[in-house]
Structure 1
């Protein structure tokens, strides 16, 4: 949970997820697997499938210039924690949240009722890290929404 909180705050504030944060989450996930204290009862096979599919699927969006590299790497590390089975529902929930974010940005651009909220939602990354392969700035913190969707899965999705 603490790792997900750090990712969420960092991504919302800076619109990027640093490598050290992704690597820390992946290292702790591997240690949890190695010592048999994985909290979601995920085995090695499911963890590596989750990491590979999480990374590989979102890599397509990075190649198309629609997503940042930190989002992709975070999805891979997240897959180590959750395994393969919950990834689809986490992606769907995160995508719905990201879609609501985009709609709120468009609405606030058209009807500037809350200028501070508009600035927060459309904050661009720092100039050094804002460069993307397509040259477009990314303003939706997708890793944060993946983390929030994972927290929701941890509390409600695992009940079934």
Structure 2
């Protein structure tokens, strides 16, 4: 039970950080990996996965999201978080979580596009777009990260843990 609460707290931290900064810091990825390994070794993970199921989930999370990173649609932090999330939940849970998160991210992008074209609420549009960042040289980044995908993965996981496992 304590590890499940720790897992949910970790998900909350990732979501909050990604919503605010549009990035997932490596220290959060490392903490999540260590917690997942601890859960696997002790057999106290929230889903009771074995090593094979956890590694398959981690590989799937990494592989699925790596394709989107390669096309420039998401950042490396999203991919690393997806891999660690897969370690926690395994492949059978990762797939519905991924679908739910993708639907939430799509809704975010559509709402942002709509508000960008018809700005009746500039503050909401700015919030959805996230912080504006410049590279080290002061030139703008190639592609801003509008959608905090790791945050939606984290939220979908929390929802799935509360409601999805009961069916």
2:83 counterpart of 1:76: yes
Contact 1:15–1:125, Cα closer than 8 Å, also in 2 = no
Distance 1:90 1:10, change over 3 A: same
Aligned-pair CA distance for 1:127: 2.6
Give the one of 73, 77, 100 matched to 2:107: 100
TM-score, with length taken from structure 1:
0.93
- Distance in 2 between residues matched to 1:6 and 1:38, nearest whole Å: 19
- Tell me which protein shows more helix as a share of its residues: 2
Distance 1:128 1:7, change over 3 A: farther
SS of 1:33's equivalent in the other structure is helix
Gaps of 5+ in 1: none
Gaps of 5+ in 2: 1-7
2:45 counterpart of 1:52: no
Contact 2:20–2:131, Cα closer than 8 Å, also in 1 = no
| RMSD between aligned residues | 1.7
Give the one of 4, 15, 36 matched to 1:8: 15
Distance 1:41 1:69, change over 3 A: same
TM-score, with length taken from structure 2:
0.90
Residue 27 of structure 1 corresponds to which residue in structure 2?
34
Runs of 4+ in 1 over 2 A off after TM superposition: 124-132
Residue 120 of structure 1 corresponds to which residue in structure 2?
127
Residue 111 of structure 1 corresponds to which residue in structure 2?
118
- Distance in 1 between residues matched to 2:24 and 2:140, nearest whole Å: 14
- Distance in 1 between residues matched to 2:149 and 2:11, nearest whole Å: 13
- Distance in 2 between residues matched to 1:114 and 1:131, nearest whole Å: 24
Aligned-pair CA distance for 1:126: 3.4
SS of 2:91's equivalent in the other structure is coil
- Distance in 2 between residues matched to 1:72 and 1:23, nearest whole Å: 13
Deviations along 1:87-131, whole A, 9 cap, x unmatched? Answer: 111111001000110111011112211111110001245334898
SS of 1:83's equivalent in the other structure is helix
